[in-house]
Amino acid sequence: MTADRLDSLMQTALNTVAPAITLAVYHRGQQLVNRAWGYIDPDTRRIPVTVETLFDLASLTKLFTVTTFLVLASDISLDTPVVEFLPEFGIQNPRPIAGGQDPHTKENLPVLPDLAGQTVDPDTVTIRHLLTHTSGLPPWRDVYTIAPPPEPGNNDDRKERWQLAVQRLVTYPFIDTVGAGIHYSDIGSMLLGEIVARLHGGLLDDAIQQHVLTPLDLRDVMFNPTIARERIAPTEFDATWRCRRVWGEVHDENACGVGGVAGHAGLFGSASSVARFGLAWLNRATFEISPSLWQQAITEQVKDGPERRGLGWMLHSEENSSAGDLMSMASFGHTGFTGTSLWIDPARELVVALLTNRVYWGRDASGIHQLRRAVHDMVVQEVS
C-alpha cells in the first residue's frame, strides 16, 4: 500500500477527527498494514500511539457478544421468544409504547403520533428480533443511573450493579411495535448479553473469553483493562457524570455504570486483534458456529430504507456506507461510537480494522464518517 497517500490522509485526520489512530488490513490472509499515528497525550506529545495501543471498541463489542451467542445457539431456533431465556422480560405485560430517550441530552423523546396509546406484548419478541434490531425496544435508556459512577479500576460490585440493571432492562417501554422496522438498540444488545451469560452458566466476559477470545488467541482484547494507561487511548472528558477524563475505563456510560462488562460495549482491543477477529469470520474457521447461522449472520435478514442487517452485523448499505463506495455489497461490518470500525469484504478477501478515539475532544466531533469512507476506498483501490 502506498505509504505516502495513507500518511497524508491520517495526518489530516489527526488534526480534525482524532488524536490517535491505528489501522490493520488483511488481504487474502496476509497482513498488508499494521500502522499507528498520533499521541496518547495530544497536548504534551510524550506518548506516541503504537500498534499495541488498546482502543475502546464501543459497539464492536456487540460483534463478540453475537459471535458467542451463535456458538452457543447451535440447537436454538432464532425464533425462540426472549422470555424463554429471560422469564422476567414478560412479567410486565403489556408494555406501553413511549418515545425513548436521547443518549446525548438524556431528554425523553416524544412518541410518534400514530403509535400513541398502543402497547406491546413482550412475549412476542424473539432472539431474531434482538439480533436484527427489530424488537421495537428503545435504542437507549439511562441504565447507568442505577448507582453512582464506580471509581476507576474498581468494579468489585459489578455483579450487584448488573443485577440492578437487568431489573430495569426487562421493564422499559418499547418505542415501536415488534418487527415494524430497524431501531438500533443498545438495550436489546444488553439483554442479549444476559442471555449469553445464562446460556454459558456464568458471566458474560467469561463466555466471550472461552468461546471467542481464547480460540483466536486474542490476548489484547479485554474488558476492564488492567494494563498501564499509557497503552490505552483515552476518550472524552466526562463533565456531567464521572467528572474526569475517561482513560482506561469504558466510555459508554451504561457499560461503565454496570461495571464495565455489557453486551453492547466494554471491550478494549488493538487494531490487529480486531482485524484477526474479522479474518476468522471471513475464513469461516475457528468458531463452532453452524454453517446455516454463519450464512444468515452475514447476509441480509432485514432491510429498512438503505439500511441492511444480518445477524448482529451491519451490511453494506445502498448509499453513503461507512465501508465506502468500492467494497462489494456482500461486505459486512460494524462501527463503534468512539470512532472504531471493522469491515470485511468476502469478494476481495479483505479485512479492515480502523480504530480511533474520535470522542477525545467531545462526542460531537465530526469527520469520522468521511475518514472511514476514505480509508476503505483507498484500501480497495490499492488491492484491486
Rg of the chain, C-alpha, whole Å: 20
| pLDDT level of residue 10 (50, 70, 90 thresholds) | very high
The confidence score (pLDDT) of residue 231 equals 98
Q: Contact, 22 vs 3, CB < 8 A?
A: no
Q: Contact, 312 vs 98, CB < 8 A?
A: no
How would you class 240 by CB atoms within 10 Å of its CB: exposed for 0-12, middle for 13-18, buried for 19 or more?
Answer: exposed
Strand ranges (E), the chain? 20-27, 30-38, 55-56, 95-96, 119-120, 222-223, 237-238, 244-245, 267-269, 302-304, 307-309, 314-315, 332-336, 340-345, 350-356
Q: Are both 94 and 31 inside the same structural domain?
A: no
How would you class 319 by CB atoms within 10 Å of its CB: exposed for 0-12, middle for 13-18, buried for 19 or more?
Answer: exposed
The confidence score (pLDDT) of residue 77 equals 96
Q: Are both 160 and 180 inside the same structural domain?
A: yes
Residue that finishes a domain, picked among 182, 200, 218 = 200
The confidence score (pLDDT) of residue 384 equals 87
Residue that finishes a domain, picked among 200, 232, 254 = 200
Q: Contact, 371 vs 51, CB < 8 A?
A: no
| pLDDT level of residue 245 (50, 70, 90 thresholds) | very high
Q: Are both 161 and 248 inside the same structural domain?
A: no
Q: Contact, 32 vs 250, CB < 8 A?
A: no
The confidence score (pLDDT) of residue 119 equals 97
Model confidence at 183: pLDDT above 80: yes
Q: Are both 28 and 92 inside the same structural domain?
A: no
Q: Contact, 237 vs 245, CB < 8 A?
A: yes
Number of domains in the chain: 2
Q: Are both 213 and 275 inside the same structural domain?
A: yes
95: Cβ–Cβ under 8 A, 6 or more apart, which residues? Answer: 119, 120, 122, 171, 172, 173, 174
The confidence score (pLDDT) of residue 287 equals 78
Q: Contact, 49 vs 38, CB < 8 A?
A: yes
**For 144-169, how does the pLDDT look when each residue is reduced to its tens digit (9 = 90+)?**
999 999 998 888 899 999 999 999 99
Q: Are both 248 and 187 inside the same structural domain?
A: no
Q: State the Cα–Cα distance between residues 56 and 235, nearest whole angstrom.
A: 8
Model confidence at 367: pLDDT above 80: yes
Q: State the Cα–Cα distance between residues 101 and 108, nearest whole angstrom.
A: 4
Model confidence at 286: pLDDT above 80: no
Q: Are both 58 and 137 inside the same structural domain?
A: no
The confidence score (pLDDT) of residue 152 equals 87
The confidence score (pLDDT) of residue 104 equals 86
**For 211-244, how does the pLDDT look when each residue is reduced to its tens digit (9 = 90+)?**
999 999 999 999 999 999 999 999 999 999 999 9
Model confidence at 1: pLDDT above 70: no
Q: Are both 132 and 215 inside the same structural domain?
A: no
Q: 136 lies in which domain range?
A: 77-200
Q: Please, what is the average pLDDT of the chain?
A: 96
Q: Contact, 127 vs 133, CB < 8 A?
A: no
CATH number at residue 10: 3.40.710.10
Model confidence at 172: pLDDT above 70: yes
Task: Please name which of 253, 249, 233, 250 lies closest in space to residue 241, comparing C-alpha atoms.
Answer: 253
Q: Contact, 353 vs 272, CB < 8 A?
A: yes
DSSP for residue 90: G
Q: Are both 129 and 180 inside the same structural domain?
A: yes
**For 100-150, how does the pLDDT look when each residue is reduced to its tens digit (9 = 90+)?**
999 988 999 999 899 999 999 999 999 999 999 999 999 999 999 999 999
Q: Are both 247 and 187 inside the same structural domain?
A: no
Residue that finishes a domain, picked among 139, 166, 200 = 200
pTM score: 0.98
Q: Are both 330 and 274 inside the same structural domain?
A: yes
Strands 302-304 and 55-56, bridge-based pairing: unpaired
The confidence score (pLDDT) of residue 3 equals 82
For 215, half-sphere exposure in the C-beta direction (CA atoms, 13 angstrom radius) is: 18
Strand ranges (E), 270-348? 302-304, 307-309, 314-315, 332-336, 340-345
Which of the two residues, 4 and 51, has the higher pLDDT score?
51
Q: State the Cα–Cα distance between residues 42 and 24, nearest whole angstrom.
A: 22
Cis? peptide before 139, omega within 30° of 0:
no
Q: What is the mean predicted confidence (pLDDT) over 338-351?
A: 98
The confidence score (pLDDT) of residue 364 equals 83
Q: Are both 195 and 209 inside the same structural domain?
A: no
Q: Contact, 360 vs 17, CB < 8 A?
A: no
Q: What is the mean predicted confidence (pLDDT) over 64-70?
A: 98
Model confidence at 2: pLDDT above 80: no
